[in-house]
Amino acid sequence: MNLQHNVQETESGMRIDQLLSSFDEIVSREQAQRLLKSGNVLINGKIELAPSRKIRAGQEVQFTIPPQESANLLPEQGTMEILYEDSHLIVINKAAGVVMHPSVGHYSGTLVNYLMHHCQDLSGIGGVLRPGIVHRLDKNTSGVLVVAKTDVTHLHLSKQFKQHTVKRQYQALVWGVPEKKHGVVNASLGRHPVRRMDMSIIENDAQEESESKKRKNAVTHWRVLQRFEFAALLACRLETGRTHQIRVHLTSIGHPIIGDPQYGKSPFKRLSCISAELSQTITNFRRQALHAELLGFIHPSSGEWLEFKAQFPDDFQNLLIEMQRAEAKL
């Protein structure tokens, strides 16, 4: 696919990868950066490799989206809870512990492997290792996600995610009890300058364009559903969908998610009122207590608004019940 675009006055000063990712044919900035690094983008007829290159009005941008290479992925039979399926897409309640797609250290047993066994073909626009994947959930986060079966569906859903029109709500069990009933965390996220596997809040900075200061706007709305002596159940609605967004945002306001090994430093040792049963339940809960309970979007073919909801998995439900029992005894 070959495309051409003349830079407008309103686009002058943008990064080239930002401009490219604004086109419907390119589903993410990561894909735009791959196109640049592979020599598939030209500015005024010259190959541009730098994602951070600023563009100017009047420049001609040409880019080529090459056909997908065949992925060396093997279909595998695995358990998937399917909430909805038609010829365009499939909605799944992902179990905690399932990796989304193959990567270093996870070449099999992923959701993509299971999908390839279940579906005859998947959209390839997400990349050779991510066919059909429109959005992601962390390995140890459970809940609802949608997968595209065709490229047209993939582009349509990706556009909805880009425009933040998709409805996404999570529930999380967090340490501590918020004083307010609800609130908003509006804080940009970027890679941690030292711990490169972690995300962190990035404040406004003159050097934000440097590698360690790249940031993306992120907004999380939260409200308290249930209060306990030492913890709370929150509903979190996303305006944006950044990597580890809820986990970092809740930690930043002093309420890390219970069980989160990466961001959830718990005050557990300071809690003397916890029963032995609850203590054991929390100790055995070896993942973040985060569940993507609701997903809503416009069907790319019918135009109908669809919403899907997934109940808590057993481990999350058991933890919540044990907390409620402990609270009733106080």
Instruction: Supply the residues annotated as catalytic.
Output: 138
Amino acid letter, residue 38: S
Tokens 């159940």 sit on residue: 233
Q: What is the largest CA-CA distance in the chain?
A: 73
**Reduced to 3 states, what is the DSSP secondary structure of residue 307?**
strand
Q: In what order do the strands lie in the sheet with 60-64?
A: 2-6, 60-64, 41-43, 46-47
Write the CB contacts of 83 (distance below 8 Å, at least 6 apart in sequence): 91, 92, 93, 144, 308, 310
Query: How, if at all, do strands 142-148 and 290-298 pair?
Result: parallel
**CB neighbours (10 Å) of residue 276?**
7
**Reduced to 3 states, what is the DSSP secondary structure of residue 30?**
helix
Q: Where does residue 70 rank: exposed (0-12), middle (13-18), buried (19+ CB within 10 A)?
A: exposed
Exposure on the CB side of residue 55, measured as CA atoms within 13 A: 28
